Structure 1
């Protein structure tokens, strides 16, 4: 009998900043050329790494932003390359920083929540926008 595979552990943030828009905020989405997709900044955890620390590290690596993590958001579970994957998310306010394109992430866009929801490639990422708004008491 085979045991189920341990899930790949990953973490990320729904990164937001205050903006002079109707919603009062914008959400950062990253474009990954390898997958040609738009997603929230996230990535695999290093061995023994705490999920929140990994989420903050991934935001810095993918967006160049320092952030202040806030409320935990729903965890995503899905299969990636035939393996189960678990991604823990937090709301995080962008504090400072500058985006530098890389081979992993070539574009960063700040969008109002409704546009961010539409731009996200994966359906499973869209409820995180609503969860962020609820966590910030804007929903």
Structure 2
């Protein structure tokens, strides 16, 4: 018999998957370490009336000090359930792909961020703490590869 979930309070947040293109050509993705010691992407609540893409940009800046961001578009929305102060929360998080040319992140400890660092796609996949964030990374990696093909005029490899 399938167990019903208790009635949940819905929350919406937004986050940014930030990448940069170093001289060696392999993209690097920005990860943060939060107050729970988990690695993931900068994200947070929307302010009243704030569009998700604007909230994602603001959260990246607040948590990492990066504000030279170029928006490349939405990645996906993920959702999960958790308990907080005795309530069941159903959280939806809109993720957006941003590019940073500066690349120097500074963890904003007043935001609960203890570290931030740039990782290759494979290193990021191994470092990220949550499966649903790994799925966001996979999609973001594909988007970055497509952007590189557009920029250099090449065609992406087709599966055999």
TM range (shorter): 0.7 to 0.9
1:124 corresponds, among 114, 126, 132, to 132
Over residues 27-82 of structure 1, what are the superposed CA-to-partner deviations in whole Å (9 max), with x where a residue is unaligned? Answer: 000001x2110011111111221111100000000111021111210111111322
Which residue number in structure 1 is paired with residue 54 of structure 2?
Answer: 53
Which residue number in structure 2 is paired with residue 11 of structure 1?
Answer: 14
Measure, in 2, the Cα distance between the counterparts of 1:98 and 1:127: 23
1:114 corresponds, among 118, 122, 138, to 122
The TM-score normalised by the length of structure 2 is 0.77
Q: Which has the larger radius of gyration?
A: 2
Higher strand share: 1
Q: Which runs of 4+ in 1 moved over 3 A?
A: 95-98
Gaps (5+ residues) in structure 2? Answer: 1-6, 149-155
Gaps (5+ residues) in structure 1? Answer: none
Which residue number in structure 2 is paired with residue 41 of structure 1?
Answer: 42
RMSD of equivalent CA atoms: 2.0
Higher helix share: 2
Shift of 1:85: 0.3
Q: Aligned residue pairs: how many? A: 135
Measure, in 1, the Cα distance between the counterparts of 2:77 and 2:23: 30
Measure, in 2, the Cα distance between the counterparts of 1:107 and 1:98: 9
**Structure 2 counterpart SS, 1:47:** coil
The TM-score normalised by the length of structure 1 is 0.87
